[in-house]
Amino acid sequence: MNGREALPQKGGGGRREGDSRHVPVMLQRCLDLLAPALQGPEAVVVDCTLGLGGHSEALLTRFPGVRLVALDRDKEALRLSGERLARFGERATLVHAVYDELPAVLDRLGIARVQGVLFDLGVSSMQLDEAGRGFAYAQDAPLDMRMDQSTGISAAEVLNTYPAGELVRILRAYGEEKQAKRIVAAIVREREKEPFTNSARLVELIRDALPQAAKRTGGNPAKRTFQALRIEVNGELAVLERAIPAAVKALDVGGRIAVLSYHSLEDRLVKQVLATGAASSAPPGLPVVPERYQPRLKLLTRGAELPTEEEIAENRRAAPARLRGAERIRQDVE
């Protein structure tokens, strides 16, 4: 899990509305990657994962001519960020949407092309630190995990209703959990006695189900199961699979995209889309490569860039971050 904007831990680390001390992950590097594309007087940048608005605020501040379109599926995040960004007036347009809805959002706003796109994937600090959301395995809470609490099924419903085989698939595919069968067998036994409602019971069950060797490495033994449930509840990988190509397509020539991922499944998808866009699609052996086969992207990062030790020390939730960037160098040829 990520914490897109980490809360200060001093004084109990409690969240305060409008707290300006939130620390967006790899902020300076994201701004530097996008900067060459955002110098024009009518540049549009899209923050596809608004969260608490730290990256958006920095974009609006550093690039005074830019217009921001920011998306989030979480209505509470939109409310808090709306307060934070109110001083920018009409320069900021906040939209309740999932980020794979980007083409429809831009179409409604009458925007044909954008100059910058930022994704900061995963769970925001607000979602992690609101106990009632059920994202964090470190505290007892209702097993919800919906980023948009107005729609969809909860993690509790997934645990209580999915067939055992489907639960095993989810834990293996989305959590890369080697002990998936053992954990699911325990879940099925327990849910027959009483349905799951809260996170503490699930965490305890996972601890009891795993062999000692599996509990000695990799941090909290529940984290992979919680990641898998969160991805399933929110359809994260399916959404991302649609969203990254759509964002690339929306970029103007010279436009740039920056994507922060927090686990290998996300990063693999992002890498694949950007690498494919940066490669020629021509059949081998052509003496001259036609325009339609030329690369559409130029990679801006060598592999995935990591946060510095200093940033991780300041913001522990930045540790798993992986940043990739690319520039649009050609439009699609129809």
Cα–Cα distance, 191 to 181 (Å, whole number)? 15
| Residue 297 CB-half CA count within 13 A | 26
Q: Tell me if 120 is assigned to a ligand binding site.
A: yes
Flag whether 127 is marked binding. yes
Which class for 135: exposed (0-12), middle (13-18), buried (19 or more C-beta within 10 A)? Answer: buried
Is residue 117 within 8 A of residue 46, CB to CB? The reply is yes
The answer to whether 122 is a known ligand-binding residue is no
**Planar angle of CA 83, 31, 47, nearest 5 degrees:** 45
Q: Is 99 annotated as a binding residue?
A: yes
Q: Is the dihedral of CA 260, 266, 271, 277 positive or negative?
A: negative
Q: Which residues contact residue 153 at a Cβ distance below 8 angstroms, ignoring those fewer than 6 apart?
A: 146, 233
Query: Is 175 assigned a ligand-binding role in the annotation?
Result: no
Residues belonging to the binding site for S-adenosyl-L-methionine are 53-55, 72, 99, 120, 127
Residues belonging to the binding site are 53-55, 72, 99, 120, 127
